[in-house]
Amino acid sequence: MQLVLFWIFSLLMLLSAMGVVFFRNPVSSAMSLVLSFIALAAVFVTLDAFFIAVVQVLVYAGGRVGAFSFHHHVARPA
């Protein structure tokens, strides 16, 4: 069962990473990046690396959303 979940989350991570590249809307691309980070955290959970999974979500996903939100609100054209 753990191997099946590993492959499901790996496929989800691959598809969402492709969404980061191919989405034209920057908000959709950022949300796809967050989904990719969450899927990577789920892969870490299937490998019994719980601390790395929590750090992955808090630091990387939270940091990317915060940076994108700041950029989106500050750097948009008037």
> Tell me: the pLDDT tens digits for 5-15?
999 999 999 99
Q: State how far the alpha carbon of 27 is from the alpha carbons of 9, 49, 63, in Å.
A: 22, 30, 15
Provide the CATH number for the domain around residue 47: 1.20.120.1200
Number of domains in the chain: 1
Residue ranges making up the domain that contains 58? 2-74
Residue written as token pair 């750090």: 55
DSSP 8-state class, residue 49 = -
- Give the least confident one: 42-46, 49-53, 66-70: 66-70
pTM of the predicted model as reported, rounded to 2 decimal places: 0.83
d(C-alpha 25, C-alpha 40), whole Å:
23
